[in-house]
Structure 1
Amino acid sequence: MKPIRTMLFVPGIKETWFEKVPSYQTDTVILDLEDSVPENLKNQARTNVSDAIKPLTDNGQRVYVRINRGPYCFNIKDLEAIIKKDLEGIVLPKLDGPEDIELIHRIISEIEFNKGLEVGSIKLIPTLETAKSIHAAYDIAIKPRVVALAGVSPRSGDVERELNYQWTAEGLERLYIRSHVVLAAKAAKVQPIGGLWQDIKDLEGLRKAAQFNRQLGFSGEMVIHPSHVPIVNEVYSPTEKEIAYYEGMIEAFNEALKEGRAAIVYEGEHIDYAHVKTAKQYVEAAKNYISS
């Protein structure tokens, strides 16, 4: 799947905002039917979102929808309304465990079949917001349709309430949780998605938080405001300097191989096959980001 640097939330009730989304340059948009929509407006939001999927896709926008979670299952009305040819995937909130993925996989498969869609085409991004789901991150990540794990930990959010830590901007209290999500996602070969930065105006704080998440191994972030998109895109995009460094390493190593050497000093550092393998992976990933 194409890399995801940014996933911008847009409330499903804000119909007039939808047409602006492609101009924000977010890799994907999440049309939200859940927490940003009042209970008495859920039906209207469902209609808005259903109608918006194709126009957004026609404008080159990748579209996900965050659905509602009921007491026993995810909202069937949401699924019936949004599952269609142009939808890339669904964001699942408040996941309990891998059994939730198994259940919704079966439900979605039936809806896809009934609508004449390719069974298995709709992707899933579970949001790990409970202690149980975070603990079971790998078991969730390897389930059908899952293409990314969202390990978000905003201030005063569901995870803070669930685990009862004291949120700080530095994030030491969330370090284990985030690293655990990254490890589980990488082991399952899906993308780890971080975020969310709640302070809309504190763009420097956003940048620092995103840079730290990137250092931990996250592939991208969920964001709540259009002004956050270019900053997060920049943080998660390879720089020309980084690409040049790794391309130079590969070239220098290839020259050394011609001379029968598989260990060299490149820009003052010891380099061998392991380092070059990493460099090639980085350069290949950079091509994917540029093309996206």
Structure 2
Amino acid sequence: MTARLIDGKSLAERLRRQVAAAAHNFTAASGRAPGLAVILVGDDPASQVYVASKSKQTIEAGMRSFEYRLPSDVSAAALLAQIAMLNSDEAVDGILLQLPLPDSLRARTQEFIAAIDPAKDVDGLHPINAGRLVADQPGLVPCTPLGAMMLLAQIHPTLDGLDAVVIGRSTLVGKPLSLLLLQQNATVTMAHSRTRGLAQLCQRADILVAAVGRREFVTADFVKPGATIIDVGINRIEREGKSRLVGDVDFASVADVAGAITPVPGGVGPMTVACLLANTLNAAEARLRLPRSAWLRG
């Protein structure tokens, strides 16, 4: 392996310490701690583990954690009522609807996201926050792209003129990350699994982001020697009777070609939750018209 590992775990720990210090200052100034509310619908085991981790880290950062667990057969009207209640709750600064929703509600996911007060939309998925990102205006940015940009800053203090290819066009990662890269003056190509000549296209990239949702999809023949690789994928596989996580990048082959690479696990994943905490604090500061904390970029 020749590539430098981009350590998301240590960077996330540093960001959480910054958030905790800023949350302490917020509490002293406002008389209350910032509050994050998470709505979990159904009993998906992976979602339950993820929500428990978020709650633990929220409390450790000096914030209040509110959990609302609804049955999988909850009605759309009841879920909308829960969101409306949290919108009006002054103790809640951030609202996160854990996705994916159960099958019975999944088709209406965008309706539920749009029901969240955009000032409390710490996932950055509300149409107003998405529009602010397109217009290069202040707003709440999706956590995974924000974390990926912080990781990139560890390798590239400036992105001016660099070629970036993003494989994946989701509203959660691919599209917002492409916009953030453009804001930093990278030249961005958005691709996907059906892009013609994808490997050849990627070979020109100084920065290659894999967010395609297919395990070990990006192999060494996609990679320009010395390129920086950001692997957003999380895929669970069974090998030799053991379960393990792998990304959208074939790490073993790509690490011999790339200049720097995020591991899975331990790369983008830890940054996502840390950025959720940062977004919650920024939302609290904005609601009380306090100066927004400036977050670690490099």
- Relative to the length of structure 1, the TM-score reads 0.31
Structure with the higher helix share, 1 or 2: 1
In terms of Rg, which structure is larger? 1
Higher relative contact order (Cα pairs below 8 Å, separated by 6+ residues): 2
